[in-house]
Amino acid sequence: MEQSEASEFQTIHPSHHYLSLEPACKRLKDDFSHQEMMKTKKNVFECPICKVQMSTRQALWKHKKRKHPEATKEESKNKNSLQCMDCEFRCPRVVDLIKHYENHHDRKLSLQTQDFATEGEFLNWKEEEERRTKASFVQHCGPRQRESAIVQYFYCNRSGFFVTKGEGKRNLKRQGSSKIGATCPAFIKFTLDRSTNRGTAEYCLDHTHPCDYAHLRLSDGIQKRVATHLAKGVKIEAILDDVRCSVQASDRDAYIVRKDVHNIKHRISRLSVDVKERQPENVTCISLLVHEMSSQKLSPILYYKGKGVESDVHDANDILIGIQTEFQKDMFLKYGKNCVCIESLHETNQFDYFLIIVMVIDGMGEILPVAWLISNKEDSCALTTFFQALKDRIGNFETDILMSDSASAFYNAWVSVFPTPKKRSHCSWQVDKCGRKKLQTHIPGSKVSEEESQHLKTCNYGLNEQKFRKMVQELESWLSNVKTLLTFLHGNIC
């Protein structure tokens, strides 16, 4: 891939570092295979009156209108889909529904027409009317192709009935469904002349329901804008501020919330990568991204060893990316003297890379990440290189407590670079896990219940020896009937 192409993709989605056409090609291939299969499949549509067989549903409908007009009219009456909001009246056309509202329910609904020089002018007018009336008009089908014109129909997005797609396990959203359970008479019919490219709109903008922002979606322009910001890694708070400051207070877009951004983010993650197919890393894109970050005034790159690059201490296929921002550096120096935690995450991506996180506990007792290492290995060699790069940035550093898992690689790599900490601690969940294994090892043939394990776990919270001894005494009293476990405790703890 050339540099210009890689840079273009990096701007679109830097978090994936590659551009693959395989999922799209596969879908096109599947669609083509489906079309070929449908060509060979013979669909038969039979007229219920004269038993004539047709190859398409449209041909059958034309046959019934031409040969059996009376039966077709009766069938159309039975299939009336437009229902009045105030009564049980149903009809096939919007114009008939508007007349019904005016004659029987005393509603003032006006039909109007307006000419437009171009289709773009019509779309701008439609967008402005939607903003003014707090409404949204959507299409139920594609444009109708006529000999001399193209006709498009737009209907109120709240018109129709709610049809659940699930099994009813979850409650409906707080504001309820956007569908009103009837037909809203508001519509827009736009006819575009093929010869002159001029258009005419016939419309009714009067609704039979309240119009508010709760049932409107974000505009397409704002959704694309949010997606672009997300692809560039902009924080959600900054995205919300940017959108709210760029639109009028009367727009639906001004009421954007975090949930809207998360919904767009979810759609991007579903459409951008086919997680079922393993994609190859794009080394060029990763290198370009790291190079761009390294050229910044305050570069967050601690260390970088690319795949395929020869090294004296690492294999050619190894990859290491150490990251620490200027803010993380300040937080590390401020809070890291009391305690430093090291955690490793793996099997969270399709490349089997490890994410090693260095964390501290801030003044509010919250965990704060202060450095990251992305690598295909978590051995002592990779960790030592990472910690050495960390030391080169922050200088000589000493912490009182080092917390990590039971693997010795983290501790050994740390003490080979930094001074030995006063205390070494392990994660509570790992202590609990190891404790369960030890119990099963030392008490063969006996199963330790969940309740017994929880009582043993409470001893971990003894902050001093006196409190710990008191907890052990209470545990002995509770375990008086569990002889095997009590004997084990007397021989190893008490």
| Token pair in block for residue 489 | 């405790």
- Angle between helix 283-294 and 3-12 (nearest 10): 80
If phi over 0 gives left and psi between -120 and 50 gives alpha, with beta otherwise, what is residue 445? left
Average pLDDT value for the chain: 78
The pLDDT tens digits along the chain (494 residues) read 444 433 333 333 434 333 344 444 444 445 545 444 444 445 678 888 888 888 888 888 888 888 888 877 766 665 557 889 889 888 888 888 899 998 899 888 889 999 999 999 999 999 889 988 889 999 988 899 988 999 999 999 999 888 877 776 677 777 778 888 899 999 999 999 999 999 999 999 999 888 888 888 888 888 888 888 887 778 888 888 888 888 877 778 888 888 889 888 887 765 443 333 334 455 667 777 788 888 888 888 998 888 888 878 888 888 899 999 888 899 999 999 999 999 888 766 656 788 899 999 888 888 889 999 998 888 888 899 999 999 999 988 899 998 887 678 888 899 999 999 988 887 666 666 666 666 666 555 555 555 566 666 666 666 667 777 777 777 777 666 666 666 766 665 55
pLDDT at 195: 92
pLDDT in tens, 435-490: 666 666 655 555 555 556 666 666 666 666 777 777 777 777 766 666 666 676 66
The CA angle 128-129-135, to the nearest 5 degrees, is: 115
Residue with tokens 């007229």: 47
Distance (Å, whole) CA 280 – CA 286: 12
The CA angle 421-426-429, to the nearest 5 degrees, is: 160
**Pair 187, 94: CB distance under 8 Å:** yes
pLDDT at 131: 86
| Token pair in block for residue 126 | 């439609």
pLDDT in tens, 73-124: 766 665 557 889 889 888 888 888 899 998 899 888 889 999 999 999 999 9
